Amino acid sequence: MSEPSTQIYLISPQDVAGDFPARLERALDAGKGMVTAFQFRVKGMDQHDAARLAEPLQAICADRDVAFIVNDSVALAKRLKADGVHLGQGDGNPRDAREELGREAQVGVTCHASKHLAMEAGEAGADYVAFGTFFESSTKDKGDTERPTPDIIAWWTQLFEIPCVAIGGIRPSNCGPLVQAGADFLAVSGAVWNGDEVEVIKAFKRIIEDRT
């Protein structure tokens, strides 16, 4: 069976302690073949504590051949020997991140609703660009003044080979237009962790398979 054209990029909640490792296992198993990346996104935490929480999650991802990406921190990604790092606009240059992490690292960049920022990121060597926030989101920063439409996904995929990620408030009920526009990845968080992770992942799978 071939891989779906749109895949799921799962983002952690802020709280990854307690039963979260078991929830992550269930989500990844439910999304086998479709959930291909996981972002460790924990804000405002000492690097030592963050690494302690990240390591079991990284092992869960490695066991399932899911890329483990660290949000914002090149230093933490390097410490963990993570598969890559996701950079916000204030988190540094993709070229510098690659020098620190090595040629094989996956480096992604937040581009908001900006074609210009996306092209700059591509020229700087980003492995993927992320557009959003598409919908109201509890996890994405509130600083986005312009909300993109699926048209920016369609524009990017027609002109560039670098994969694009759609992010921000994405749920099974609203993801269809992003899939149809050609998003390579849907970055999802709250929709999964605020409900039954297995059922929500299965719902995403149904929508993606129906639209591709």
Please report which residue ranges of 64-114 form alpha helices under DSSP H: 74-80, 94-101
Homologous superfamily in CATH for domain 7-211: Aldolase class I (3.20.20.70)
pLDDT over threshold 50, residue 1: no
pLDDT value at residue 120 = 97
Is the separation of the CB atoms in 38 and 61 below 8 Å?
Answer: yes
pLDDT band with cut points at 50, 70 and 90 for residue 137: confident
> What sign has the CA pseudo-torsion 117, 122, 127, 129?
positive
Read off the pLDDT of residues 164-178 as tens digits, 9 standing for 90 and up: 999 999 999 999 999
**The predicted structure's pLDDT at residue 3:** 58
